[in-house]
């Protein structure tokens, strides 16, 4: 199954985060990304899966 591939700007917009936040996530390998030449690319399908795991990792309120 083909997944839409997003540029850095598109991924930033999709996730509603700043340049620095997305770059930090990429550098720390916290988010699925691939480097193509000098540009980062993101599979939308993997970003959605990543977001779902982040929802499950939220600290519980006590």
Domain ranges of the chain: 5-55
pLDDT at residue 15 greater than cutoff 60: yes
| Domain 5-55 in this protein, CATH class | mainly alpha
> What would the pLDDT profile of 21-46 be if each residue is shown by its tens digit?
999 999 999 999 999 999 999 999 99
User: What does the DSSP 8-state code read for residue 26?
Assistant: H
Is the pLDDT score of 59 beyond 60? yes
Percent of the chain with pLDDT over 90: 77
| Residue 11: burial class (beta carbons within 10 Å; 0-12, 13-18, 19+) | buried
Q: What pLDDT is recorded for position 55?
A: 77
CA angle 59, 60, 62 (to 5 degrees): 130
Residue 6: what pLDDT?
A: 98
Q: Measure the N-to-C terminal CA separation of the chain; round to a whole number of Å.
A: 41
Instruction: Using alpha carbons, select from 56, 1, 11, 62 the residue that is nearest to residue 34.
Output: 11
* pLDDT for position 61: 65
């Amino acid at each position: 199954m083909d997944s839409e591939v997003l540029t850095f700007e598109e991924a930033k917009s999709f996730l509603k985060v700043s340049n620095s936040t997305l770059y930090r996530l990429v550098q720390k390998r916290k988010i699925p990304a691939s480097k193509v030449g000098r540009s980062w690319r993101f599979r939308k399908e993997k970003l959605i899966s990543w977001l779902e795991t982040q929802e499950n990792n939220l600290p519980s309120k006590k």
